[in-house]
Amino acid sequence: MRDTGPRVIPDAAVFKDVVIVGNGPSGIGVSHMLAGHRPYLRGSQHPDEMLSARLAGVMAGAGAVAGAGAAQPVPLLRQDLRLLSQGLEGRAPHPLSLLMDALSHPGADQGLELPSLLQWRHHPELRVDHVVLGTSPPGGAWQTMIGNVLTISLASWMELPGLDFRTWEKTVGSLHATEHANNNNNNNNINNINNNNNGRARAASVAQYYADYVRLRGLKKFFHCGTKVLNIEPLENAACQCTENASSGWCGRKQCFARALWLVEGFDQVNRQPFCYVSQKVVIATGCTSKPNRLNIPGELTNNNRIVHDFGSVEELVGRIRAEADRDQTGVDPILIVGAGLSAADAVLTARFHSVPVLHVFRSRTIPIDRQLPEIMYPEYHKVHQMMEDGGKYYPLYEALPEHKVLSLAGFSVDQKVLLEGPNGQLSAQKVSGVAILIGASPNLSFLKTVCSSDGTGLGANPDLPIDCRSNPILIDLWSHKVVRVQHPGLYALGPLTGDNFVRFILGGSLAVASGVLNDKQC
C-alpha cells in the first residue's frame, strides 16, 4: 500500500472514471448512456402543443444546418434541455424526468400509446470507463420480489431504451420469467389473486427483462454483481502510484490515482474477496427499499419467525399458518397486518386467499386521493380499499381497525397476544397467529458514513431528517443530479433516492448524470 496522506489506497485498487453503486434500473440506465448510447430526437409531433412547438424549432434548426433533405435525428444532449423542459407537468419532481418521459411515452398520462420520439444510437468512441456494483443480478430489488406480483405501472413503462418490453416478452421473456417466478414464489398464489393484469407485468418478467437487457445491450462487461459496498469516501490527497517517489501530481496517465476523487471499498459476496475502486465520480443508485421500517415497540425485534416486515416473508408465514391449522384441525387466529400501502394490500389478499382471517391496523380512516388507484386498472387494490373504508362488515375473514396503533408485541411470544390502542385511547389485547408490519422501507446509506449518517440524515432537502423517497429525497442539482449537500465534487444520485419513484421517470436522471459526467472536462 502507498500512503497518500490522510488515506491509504491499496495497491490492488482499480481506477474507473465512474463507479455506480446499485444495479437496478437506475444504475442500468446510467451505464447504458456511459457505454456510449445516446438519445436523438426523431420527431416533433407531441400531444403537448407547447412541447411540440419547441421540438419543431429544434428539428427545424438542425435541418437548416444540415441543408436540404429529409429531417435527420438530432442529438438530444446538444440541445437546451432547460428550454425543452419548461412548463412540463406530471408525477415526477424533476424537469428532466418529465422531459424524458414525455419524449419516451408521449401522452402516457392521457392513456395514449404513441411511439417514442427518441432514437438511440451507439457511439463506442464516447464510452466512459465505469463499473456498476450490486448485491444481486442486474435488476436490483426486482430480483428479490415475489414473482407473480403485478407491477403498478404498465409493462411498457418498465422498459429501458433500445429493448421493447412487449417484443422481448413475446420472444425470450415468457420462459425465463416463469422460471424466475417459480424460484421466487413457491406457492404462486398471487398469480391467482391478480389474474387480470390489464397491461401490467409480473415482477418475475420485469426482473428477467433487466437481466436480459444488460446482456443484450452489451453492458455485461461493466457489471460487478454479487458485491457488498462497505465504504465510500472522498480522497483529499490521492497520489500517483507509478513510481515509488512519485509526487501527488498527475503523471499524465488517464488512470493515474492522482486524478481520483473518491474511494469505494467492499467485498465479493461469493468468494469473500475484498475489492477497491478509485474514481473521479460516484453515482448512488441504490433505491429506498434496503431496510424495512419498524414500529419500534416492545417485542418487535424478538427472535420470532411469526413477526415479519416484508411481503416476501408474508407469503411463507401465511402458508405456514394455514398448513398448521389444517394439520391440527383447529381454528385459525387472525394475522395482524399493519400498514395501508400496496404491500399491506397484497398481504390482505394473500391471507384471504388462504382463508386466514385478517386484523388490519392502519392510521387513517380514509385513503388519500393521491394514493387511490382506478378500479379498471387495479381491481384487486380497489377491493382492499373498499374493505378498509367499510370496516370489513361485508367481507368475511377481514376486520379493519382504522385509527389504531400497535403499542406492544411483548406478550406475543408468551400467549400470542398483541396490545392495541384505538382512536379514543381504549386498549385491547388481541390474540393473533402472526404479525406482518408493512409500513414502507428506508435506504441504507451506511457506506457513506464519512458524509452522512446511515439513514441519509444530512443529505436531504431537510438535512435534519433521514432520507425518504417521498417526503425528503436527496437534494440534488436538477440538471446534473450532483448531490448538493456534499462539498467534495463528483458525487451523484438518482432514482428513488432523489424522488423518482417510477421506472418511467429514471431515464431523466440517467440523462442528467451522463450530462454532468460528460460535461466535466476531467472525465
Domains of the chain, by residue range, sit at 1-36+123-135+226-292+442-523, 42-122, 144-217, 294-439
pLDDT computed for residue 264 by the predictor: 97
In this structure, of 17-21, 296-300, 392-396, the range with the lowest mean pLDDT score is 392-396
Taking only the tens place, the pLDDT of each residue in 119-158 is 999 999 999 999 999 999 999 999 988 778 888 888 999 9
Q: How many CB atoms lie within 10 A of CB 391?
A: 15
pLDDT computed for residue 251 by the predictor: 53
C-alpha cell at 159: 422498459
| Residue 417 backbone phi and psi in degrees, to 5 | -110, 145
Q: What is the mean pLDDT of residues 296-304?
A: 88
Binned at pLDDT 50, 70 and 90, residue 10 comes out as confident
In this structure, of 346-360, 411-425, 435-449, 508-522, the range with the lowest mean pLDDT score is 508-522
Those residues whose C-beta lies under 8 Å from the C-beta of residue 370, and which sit 6 or more positions away, are none
In this structure, of 21-25, 133-137, 143-147, 225-229, the range with the lowest mean pLDDT score is 143-147
User: How buried is 125 (Cβ within 10 angstroms: 0-12 exposed, 13-18 middle, 19+ buried)?
Assistant: exposed
Identity of the amino acid at 79: Q
Tell me, which fold does domain 1-36+123-135+226-292+442-523 have in CATH? FAD/NAD(P)-binding domain (3.50.50)
**Under 8 Å between Cβ of 34 and 297:** no
pLDDT computed for residue 199 by the predictor: 85
Q: What is the mean pLDDT of residues 190-208?
A: 73
Return the top range by mean pLDDT from 145-149, 254-258, 501-505: 501-505
Taking only the tens place, the pLDDT of each residue in 454-486 is 999 999 999 999 999 989 999 999 999 999 999
Who has greater pLDDT, 281 or 518?
281
| Residue 8 backbone phi and psi in degrees, to 5 | -100, 125
pLDDT computed for residue 150 by the predictor: 87
Partners of residue 19 on adjacent β-strands: 131, 282
Identity of the amino acid at 248: S
Is the pLDDT reported for residue 201 higher than 50?
yes
CA distances to 22, 338, 475 from 381, rounded to whole Å, are 30, 16, 32
Is the pLDDT reported for residue 174 higher than 50?
yes
pLDDT computed for residue 126 by the predictor: 93
Who has greater pLDDT, 72 or 247?
72
**pLDDT mean across residues, the chain:** 87
Taking only the tens place, the pLDDT of each residue in 180-196 is 555 555 544 554 554 55
pLDDT computed for residue 56 by the predictor: 94
pTM value? 0.88
Is the pLDDT reported for residue 44 higher than 60?
yes
Q: What is the mean pLDDT of residues 231-235?
A: 95
Share of the chain above pLDDT 70, in %: 86
CA distances to 96, 153, 255, 503 from 29, rounded to whole Å, are 14, 18, 24, 10
Q: Same CATH fold, 294-439 and 1-36+123-135+226-292+442-523? A: yes
E runs forming strands in 324-433: 335-338, 358-362, 398-402, 405-408, 417-421, 427-431
For CA atoms 339, 370, 158, 97, the dihedral sign is negative
Binned at pLDDT 50, 70 and 90, residue 492 comes out as very high
Is the pLDDT reported for residue 23 higher than 50?
yes
Those residues whose C-beta lies under 8 Å from the C-beta of residue 309, and which sit 6 or more positions away, are 292, 293, 294, 436, 437, 438
**Under 8 Å between Cβ of 134 and 24:** yes
pLDDT computed for residue 360 by the predictor: 97
Q: Which CATH architecture has domain 294-439?
A: 3-Layer(bba) Sandwich (3.50)
